Chain A
Amino acid sequence: DIQLTQSPSLLSASIGDRVTITCRASQGINNYLAWYQHKPGRAPRLLIYPATSLKSGVPSRFSGGGSGTEFSLTISSLQPDDFATYYCQQVYSHATITFGQGTRLEIK
Chain B
Amino acid sequence: EVQLLESGGGLVQPGGSLRLSCAPSGFSLSYFAMAWVRQAPGKGLEWVSSISGSGDTQYYADSVQGRFTISRDDSLHLQMNDLRDEDSGIYYCAKYVESWWQPVFDLWGQGNLVTVSS
A interface list, Cβ under 8 A from B:
32, 34, 36, 38, 41, 43-46, 49, 55, 85, 87, 89, 91, 94-102
Contact = CB atoms under 8 A, between A and B. Distances in A.
Contact of A44 (B45, B97, B100): B45
B56 interface: no
B88 interface: no
A36 B39 CA distance: 14
Given A87-B45, A98-B47, A101-B44, A34 B104 contact: yes
Contacts of A38: 45
B75 interface: no
B108 interface: yes
Contact of A94 (B37, B45, B100, B108): B100
Closest 6 CB pairs of A and B: A43-B108, A97-B47, A102-B44, A99-B45, A49-B104, A101-B44
Question: What interface size band does chain B fall in?
Answer: 20 to 34
Interface in B85-99: 92, 94, 97
Contacts of A98: 47
Contacts of B61: 96
Contacts of A85: 44
B101 A94 contact: yes
29 contacts: A34-B104, A36-B45, A43-B108, A43-B109, A43-B111, A44-B45, A44-B92, A44-B105, A45-B108, A46-B104, A46-B106, A55-B106, A85-B44, A87-B45, A94-B50, A94-B100, A94-B101, A94-B103, A95-B59, A96-B47, A96-B59, A96-B61, A97-B35, A97-B47, A97-B103, A98-B47, A99-B47, A101-B44, A102-B44
A7 B16 CA distance: 37
Interface of B: 35, 37, 44-47, 50, 59, 61, 92, 94, 97, 100-106, 108-111
Considering residues B100, B102, B104, which has the most beta carbons from chain A within 10 angstroms of its beta carbon? B104
A43 B92 contact: yes
B1 to A, nearest CB: 13
Contacts of B103: 91, 94, 97
